[in-house]
Amino acid sequence: MVPRQREDDAVGAFEVIEMVKAKILKEDEERIKVLLTDTDRAFVNAIRRTLMSDTPKMAIDTVRFVKKTEEDGDILWETDGPLPDEVIAQRLAMVPIPTKHDEFYFQDECPNCSEMVEDDRGCASCTMLYYCQVKGSEEGTWVTAGDLNFLGDADGFIPSKYQPIPITKLFKGQMIEFSATAVMGRGRDHVKWSPVSGVTFNPRQVGLIKVKSRSKVLWDLGLNIKAKDFKDGRLEDIEMVETLKSDLNHVGSGTEESREFKGAVELEDVPGEFILQFETDGSMTPRVAFEMAVAELSGRFGGIQEDLKAVL
C-alpha cells in the first residue's frame, strides 16, 4: 500500500502501514526528519534497512570507452587520461542519476525487454543513455558530472547542484570519450543503487524536571533551555529536547556540577514513538525515498500475508 498523505496536516503526515503514522518534522532537498508513532523499534529498523537496501534507484551500470581506428586497424586515438578506465567507471557509478520511478522499469520487468537475454536488454523504458567527450588542455581541464550528456529529455541531465562532481582532469594530449548506461537497481546488489546515507533513528524523548531545587544548577549556567520552557515540569517540543540533550552534557557525569545536580532533569523515552532521519545522494528527494521504502515494505508484508493464507 502506497502511503497516503492526510489533507488535514499541512506539515505532512502519512498513514504508513496499518496504524503506524509518520509526520515530517523537517525537510529540505536532501535531508528529512520523520516522527513515527504507534510503532516499535523493529518496524522502524525495517524501514531503515529498506531505505538502504531496497529503495529503487537509477545508477550508471556500464561504461564503454570509445576507440577510433582506421580501416587497416591502426588506432587513430583512444581514451587516454591519468586514471584507469575502471576508476573512471567507478566514479561514474556514484554520480546521482535523476530517478523517475513512474517512467522507468527494472530491466527484468520491462515490458519490452524482460523476455530478452540480459545482454540484449535496454530500451527507453528501462535504460538511460549518457555520452561524454572532453579533450585536455595545457592548463588542465576538469571532466565533471556536468559533462554527461543525456540522450533524452532535459530532466535526465545531472542536476546543476551536482554537476561540479569531479571525474578526472585532462591535460594537453589527453582526452576521454565514452557512452554510459544507467539502469534501475537496489542497494542490496551494489552500493551505487543505495539512494540514502546517514540513516539513523532514536526513540522520541521528553524532558522531565525531577527535583526542582537541584535543577537550578542547570539554569544558572545560562545555557539554551530555561526553566520557563517546561510546562508542569515537562518539555515536549522535539527540537527543544534536542537542545536540552546538549545542555545536559554540562552537568553530566564527570563534571563538577554533577555532584550537586544529581539527575535533577532527565530525559524519558516516549513509548511507541521514534525519530527517523536521513539524507539522499540527490537522485531523488528524501520524501520520495521514504515513500518508496514504505511502499516496498508494504508490498513485502502483503506478500507474506498472501503466502500465509495459501498455507494455512
pLDDT of residue 79: 77
Measured CA angle at 46 (ends 196, 193), to 5 deg: 30
Q: What is the CATH number of the domain that holds 153?
A: 2.170.120.12
Residue 292 domain-assigned (yes or no):
yes
Domain boundary among 193, 228, 254: 193
pLDDT of residue 81: 84
pLDDT of residue 298: 83
pLDDT of residue 56: 95
pTM over 0.75: yes
One domain for residues 25 and 100: no
Using 70 as the pLDDT threshold, list the residues of the chain that sit under it.
1-18, 68-77, 301-312
pLDDT of residue 66: 83
pLDDT of residue 119: 85
pLDDT of residue 244: 97
One domain for residues 261 and 209: yes
Grid coordinates representing 191? 552500493
pLDDT of residue 68: 67
Q: Domain limits at 274? A: 4-54+196-297
Instruction: Please state, in angstroms and rounded to a whole number, the distance separating the CA atoms of residues 144 and 158.
Output: 10
Domain boundary among 193, 227, 254: 193
pLDDT of residue 309: 59
pLDDT of residue 261: 95
One domain for residues 119 and 168: yes
Residue 306 domain-assigned (yes or no):
no
pLDDT of residue 74: 59
Of 64, 41, 28, the C-alpha closest to 275 is: 41
pLDDT of residue 303: 58
Bridge partner list, 60: 182
Q: How many domains does the chain have?
A: 2
One domain for residues 21 and 61: no
Domain boundary among 161, 193, 225: 193
One domain for residues 187 and 257: no
